[in-house]
């Protein structure tokens, strides 16, 4: 056992992620870093790639931020910069997130003699090629534990033989329900119907299917608008796609917004048309506000939404099904209220930030003590 005289005042956690652009993973990193007990833990954030909003968000929260300024996937020098940085920061636990940070961080952490390495599985990653799985499998042996934010993510790792089931823990994302206004009020729909989606403007988020669904709704006389929050490489392509559908006045691209509650509070229906997911923070935020939600039945989404109980699930790659699900909610005031209120209850009871932080604190303390024996 460790005596109180030898145990350090703080356990230093370095959170290593791939990019500094704000997405669900980066929101959770900030939530964890801000939420850990300051008397027991000290958090540091490190990114492989710099230039995004995460640096500024960390600076505002007084969280030390570093980047190894990785130039490309073939930038071998980034490994040596990361290893040197980890050594200099005197880290107790390295917590990595996402594929590239997991692979590079595990190896650099091992060679930098970091006592505990914990990796995060944030998605089901159907984009992976065989060599990604091989890299993950080889480097996973350097991790003391893998934390998946969904049961679907854990099952993917087990099925691909990346790690044994007992080495993988599931800790769901958690959010602070008190931060989100309760918008689950019985009311008649007002036109135009306001639709909202939040997510990076990338292929996996399935925005084109939602734009197609909006086009179909317009074709049958449903007056509705779509607001898209997020930024990414497909922005111009999606703007042109909406214009080609004659929807330039119905689709608003608002970019990244650090505070989405103002948008959620003005939304009638939230839609997440993703092609694959882990446990999406944006969907949790909408549910926390009591907004009726339509989402695709992929990854960990079905752990949040039980179809026809607290929302509607549809199959991915299907704009017609999205259209029908949205139309069903537009036509039924009672259903919107029921799904919205039940969605908020789901988040409050099963996905609280308090529970997530408590679980992580206990995990960090357990592995730190074991490493010190």
Spatial separation of the C-alpha atoms in residues 287 and 284, rounded to whole Å: 5
Spatial separation of the C-alpha atoms in residues 182 and 370, rounded to whole Å: 43
> Domain check: are 356 and 343 in the same one?
no
Nearest to 295 by CA among 314, 276, 280: 314
17 part of a folded domain: yes
> Domain check: are 218 and 311 in the same one?
yes
Q: What is the DSSP letter of 7?
A: S
Order of strands, edge to edge, in the sheet holding 224-229?
251-255, 224-229, 193-198, 269-272, 293-296, 312-314
As given in the structure block, the two tokens for residue 225 are 């608008």
pLDDT in tens, the chain (373 residues): 344 445 556 999 999 999 998 888 999 999 999 999 999 999 999 999 998 889 999 999 999 999 999 998 888 999 999 999 999 999 999 999 999 999 999 999 999 999 999 999 998 888 889 999 999 999 999 999 999 999 999 999 999 999 999 999 999 999 999 999 999 887 788 999 999 999 999 999 999 999 999 999 999 999 999 999 999 999 999 999 999 999 999 999 999 898 899 999 999 999 999 999 989 999 999 999 999 999 999 999 999 999 999 999 999 999 999 999 999 999 999 999 999 999 999 999 999 999 999 999 999 999 999 988 7
CA dihedral 144, 204, 317, 342 (to 10 degrees): 70
Measure Cα distances from 153 to 103, 147, 163, 277, 321 in Å.
17, 9, 12, 9, 25
3 part of a folded domain: no
Cβ burial, residue 358 (10 Å; 0-12/13-18/19+): middle
CA atoms within 13 A on the CB side of 118: 24
> Domain check: are 166 and 20 in the same one?
yes
Specify the pLDDT at position 1: 36
> Domain check: are 225 and 242 in the same one?
yes
Phi, psi dihedral angles at 243 (to 5 degrees)? -65, -40
> Domain check: are 167 and 268 in the same one?
no
Contact 98, 18 (CB under 8 A): yes
Contact 312, 329 (CB under 8 A): yes
Specify the pLDDT at position 52: 87
Residue 128: domain span: 11-174+352-372
78 part of a folded domain: yes
Look at residue 130 and give its three-state secondary structure: helix
313 part of a folded domain: yes
Task: Count the neighbouring beta carbons within 10 Å of the beta carbon of residue 89.
Answer: 17
Spatial separation of the C-alpha atoms in residues 252 and 312, rounded to whole Å: 24
> Domain check: are 324 and 361 in the same one?
no
> Domain check: are 182 and 170 in the same one?
no
316 part of a folded domain: yes
Beta carbons within 8 Å of 38's beta carbon, 6+ residues apart: none
Tally of structural domains, the chain: 2
> Domain check: are 133 and 162 in the same one?
yes
326 part of a folded domain: yes
> Domain check: are 155 and 193 in the same one?
no
Phi, psi dihedral angles at 97 (to 5 degrees)? -140, 140
CA atoms within 13 A on the CB side of 85: 23
Specify the pLDDT at position 8: 53
> Domain check: are 159 and 230 in the same one?
no
> Domain check: are 191 and 59 in the same one?
no
Task: Report the CATH number that the domain containing residue 217 is assigned in CATH.
Answer: 3.40.50.2000
2 part of a folded domain: no
pTM of the model: 0.87
205 part of a folded domain: yes
Specify the pLDDT at position 3: 42
> Domain check: are 134 and 200 in the same one?
no
H-helix or E-strand spanning residue 252: strand 251-255
């Amino acid at each position: 056992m460790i005596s109180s005289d030898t145990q350090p005042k703080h356990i230093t956690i370095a959170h290593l992620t791939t990019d500094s652009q704000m997405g669900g993973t980066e929101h959770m990193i900030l939530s964890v870093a801000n939420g850990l007990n300051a008397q027991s833990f000290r958090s540091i954030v490190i990114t492989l790639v710099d230039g995004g909003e995460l640096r500024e968000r960390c600076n505002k929260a007084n969280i030390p931020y570093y980047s190894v300024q990785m130039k490309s996937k073939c930038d071998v020098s980034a490994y040596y910069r990361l290893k040197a940085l980890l050594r200099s920061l005197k880290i107790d636990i390295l917590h990595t997130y996402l594929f590239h940070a997991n692979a590079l961080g595990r190896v650099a952490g091992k060679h930098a003699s970091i006592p505990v390495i914990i990796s995060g599985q944030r998605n089901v990653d159907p984009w992976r090629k065989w060599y990604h799985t091989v890299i993950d499998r080889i480097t996973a042996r350097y991790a003391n534990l893998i934390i998946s934010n969904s049961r679907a993510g854990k099952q993917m790792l087990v099925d691909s033989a990346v790690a044994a089931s007992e080495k993988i823990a599931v800790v769901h994302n958690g959010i602070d329900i008190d931060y989100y206004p309760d918008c689950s009020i019985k009311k008649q729909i007002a036109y135009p119907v306001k639709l909202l989606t939040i997510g990076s403007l990338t292929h996996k988020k399935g925005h084109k299917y939602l734009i197609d669904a909006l086009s179909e709704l317009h074709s049958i006389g449903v007056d509705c608008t779509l607001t898209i929050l997020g930024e990414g490489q497909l922005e111009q392509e999606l703007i042109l796609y909406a214009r080609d559908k004659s929807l330039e006045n119905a689709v608003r691209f608002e970019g990244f917004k650090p505070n989405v509650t103002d948008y959620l509070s003005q939304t009638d229906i939230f839609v997440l048309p993703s092609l694959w997911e882990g446990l999406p923070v944006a969907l949790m935020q909408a549910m926390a506000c009591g907004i009726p939600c339509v989402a695709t039945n992929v990854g960990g989404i079905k752990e949040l939404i039980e179809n026809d109980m607290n929302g509607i699930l549809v199959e991915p790659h299907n704009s017609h099904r999205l259209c029908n699900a949205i139309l069903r909610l537009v036509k039924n005031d009672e259903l919107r209220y029921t799904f919205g209120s039940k969605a908020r209850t789901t988040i409050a009871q099963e996905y609280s930030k308090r529970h997530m932080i408590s679980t992580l604190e206990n995990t960090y303390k357990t592995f730190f003590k074991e490493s010190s024996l």
